[in-house]
Structure 1
Amino acid sequence: MPDSSAPLPDHRILEQAAEWFAALGDEDAGPDQQQRWRRWIETDPEHGRAWRYVEQVSARFQQARGHAGRDGAGHILQHTRSDRLTRRRLLGGGVASLAAWLTWRHTPLPDATGRLIAGLTAGQHTTTGEIRDLGLADGGRLWLNSATTVDVAYDNALRRVTLHDGEILIQTGADPRRRPFVVDTRHGRLRALGTRFTVRQHRDHGFLAVYQGSVAIRTRDGDEAVIEAGRQATFQAASVTPAGAADPARQAWSQGLIVANDLPLGELVEELARYRHGHLGVDPAVAHLRALGTYPAGRPDLALAMLENALPVRARQPLPWWVTIGPA
């Protein structure tokens, strides 16, 4: 789901709205049920807000199916199905099944990896669940996370990547012409000082984690800071805020993985949701549980099955595009 500065309605109300949506979509739904739904909507303004959110999720899901075409729509549905037995079969022997999946995941795909960006300008994007690995003309590399849009522009004075949405990982190359390498975001410009780093664009701020070298930040309003290797920061138009040590495991998404090292379940589910069409939520009653392990970003249903095996939780799916992790 797209990032938003507005908080979601209460979890309980969201679940009620999804249940109403499923009930009204049933062919047996009659006038009495519609009247009960109207009374529910009118009881509380938050009910209406939750209902609008569910409608938006449904519309985006249907739009994604339409854009994907027949074959792509089948792929989307395959990645949003609720068949627990199928997910158990995918899980198989746990570690062995994940190892087999990783072998498949790292087999090079000619249309998804290794593409060379050699022109002066190039617009690149990924769809939900897609990760791309691109070679830059100066020998560097650029990885695009799920639902990411960038422009790449090399000219005589500058090597520039403009991040519009999503997240990127960059390994800069050595440029014989010594042109600066910069990443422009809506909140400011980052200048790489021979480095490897990730940048994520949120609606109200940017996030930077530096793994090698250092990166200079200049915000849109002129605040400046240099973030060294092993550190991370958030930045807005007017300020830069150091955010502690950078976790090298955050780079794992470039290999199609999400690494949870004692990560709260709520945060892990939020990450998995980036790779899945529709709504993927977590009940506050289990959001505090700590998760360990390595999960496949491109197979969120397999990841959910792994979580069900590891923690006292269960995935509920009242609609093809609505999944909630709750107590087992």
Structure 2
Amino acid sequence: MMKPALPPDVLAQAADWFARLQDPAAGPGERARWSAWRAASPQHAQAWHQVETVWGGFDGLPAALAQQALDQAASRLRARRQALRRGGAGLLGVFGLSLVGWRLLEPQGALQTALGQTRHWALADGGRLWLNTDSHADLDYGPQQRRIRLHEGELLLQAEADSQALPRPLLLETGLAQLTPLVPSRFAWRDEGRGGGLLSVYQGQVELAPRRGPTRRVEAGRSLRLRPGGGQLEGRALALHEAWSRGLLIAENMRLADFLAELSRYRPGRLDCEAALAELRLVGSFPTQDPERALRALAETLPLQIERPLPGWTRLRARA
């Protein structure tokens, strides 16, 4: 059976304790009282777990940004403590999750991102899910299994053990394969179009059962590409296919032409370079949420310039 929703006042208490413990003045006595509160009821422990699940999203943020968001949120929570006690606000309202974009998902629902947008959610089982630009997925967590369907695009999944008394299997279905993570695990799947896809594993192991071809188990640090026509190619899991969840495009000795193809996924219009520049190699980190800034950085560090031959068409060419 699915766990019943927690009472709003219990969630508010958990958020209130979170705010207290973020206060630098919180001492051993305050922490002892928090520990006693958490141990007093299974609902208290479950509410605190939800708080930790949502706030765990800071693990993937740069340290300065995480601390800034944490400080802002904790300050807001401390200021609203009395109002929360009176109003019994739910967890999402308490945390003001727009600071970092986290949302706690219902057991079922459609997930989607627009061009240039990335989103991320906390799952009810303690896992986390990210969708990259221009992606579409469905979530279906039922009594017998946990199922995610990726219809198009790219996702990153932090898979955790089920919290139900009888653990439900976790499956990711795509148009090319069914993926079964051996929890805990962290992995990305990318639909590359034209019958191709890429699995990159960063923690744990993932079993991949393609529509055509043998089932494979992929270990942490490795990737497996399904080629159009049914072939498979094993390789190294690149930071590129995980860093987008943190708003970064990582270039590791990447061809300029390939870099521009990646960057173009986050912006409208055509983006390319003249043939003489295609083989230039890049190393660095670039912001996916500000493609124009990334292009300006290239123009400042490489012998090239930005041109716009027509509306909607951006081209890089060698600097005169």
Q: TM-score, normalised by structure 2?
A: 0.66
2:190 partner letter: R
> Which aligned pairs between 1:143-162 and structure 2 lie closer than 5 A?
143-162=130-149
Counterpart contact for 2:140–2:146, Cα < 8 Å = yes
Counterpart contact for 1:222–1:238, Cα < 8 Å = no
Task: Identify the match of residue 301 of structure 1 among 292, 301, 315.
Answer: 292
Question: By how many angstroms is 1:103 displaced?
Answer: 4.6
> Which aligned pairs between 1:217-256 and structure 2 lie closer than 5 A?
217-221=208-212, 223-235=214-226, 239=230, 241-256=232-247
In 1, the alpha carbon distance for the partners of 2:175 and 2:236 equals 24
Query: 4+ residue runs of structure 1 moved beyond 4 angstroms?
Result: 106-109
Matched, 1:141 2:131: no
> Which aligned pairs between 1:95-106 and structure 2 lie closer than 5 A?
103=65
Question: By how many angstroms is 1:249 displaced?
Answer: 4.6
CA gap of 1:149–1:111, structure 2 versus 1, over 3 A, is farther
In 2, the alpha carbon distance for the partners of 1:301 and 1:237 equals 33
Q: Which residue of structure 2 lines up, in the alignment, with residue 312 of structure 1?
A: 303
1:324 partner letter: R
In 2, the alpha carbon distance for the partners of 1:157 and 1:174 equals 14
In 2, the alpha carbon distance for the partners of 1:313 and 1:114 equals 39
What CA deviation, in whole Å up to 9, does each residue of 1:28-72 have, x standing for no partner? Answer: xxxxxxxxxxxxxxxxxxxxxxxxxxxxxxxxxxxxxxxxxxxxx
> Which aligned pairs between 1:270-289 and structure 2 lie closer than 5 A?
270-289=261-280
What CA deviation, in whole Å up to 9, does each residue of 1:289-328 have, x standing for no partner? Answer: 0112110001000000000011111111133321112212
Counterpart contact for 1:128–1:275, Cα < 8 Å = yes
Gaps of 5+ in 2: 1-61, 70-95
Match of 2:102, SS state, is strand
CA gap of 1:279–1:112, structure 2 versus 1, over 3 A, is farther
Q: Which residue of structure 1 lines up, in the alignment, with residue 106 of structure 2?
A: 118
2:179 partner letter: L
In 2, the alpha carbon distance for the partners of 1:298 and 1:115 equals 19
Q: Which residue of structure 1 lines up, in the alignment, with residue 313 of structure 2?
A: 322
Match of 1:244, SS state, is strand
> In percent, how many aligned pairs have the same letter?
36
> Which aligned pairs between 1:1-328 and structure 2 lie closer than 5 A?
103=65, 110=98, 113-119=101-107, 121-176=108-163, 177-194=166-183, 195-203=185-193, 204-221=195-212, 223-235=214-226, 239=230, 241-328=232-319
In 2, the alpha carbon distance for the partners of 1:145 and 1:111 equals 18
What CA deviation, in whole Å up to 9, does each residue of 1:212-252 have, x standing for no partner? Answer: 11111111135211111111011258745133111235311
Gaps of 5+ in 1: 1-99
Match of 2:234, SS state, is strand
In 2, the alpha carbon distance for the partners of 1:146 and 1:227 equals 25
In 1, the alpha carbon distance for the partners of 2:303 and 2:130 equals 35
Counterpart contact for 2:260–2:271, Cα < 8 Å = yes
In 2, the alpha carbon distance for the partners of 1:145 and 1:189 equals 19
Q: Report the count of equivalent residues.
A: 226
Question: By how many angstroms is 1:184 displaced?
Answer: 0.7
In 2, the alpha carbon distance for the partners of 1:197 and 1:136 equals 15
What CA deviation, in whole Å up to 9, does each residue of 1:143-196 have, x standing for no partner? Answer: 110101101111122111111111101001220332111111111101111110
After superposition, the CA RMSD in angstroms is: 2.3
In 2, the alpha carbon distance for the partners of 1:275 and 1:156 equals 37
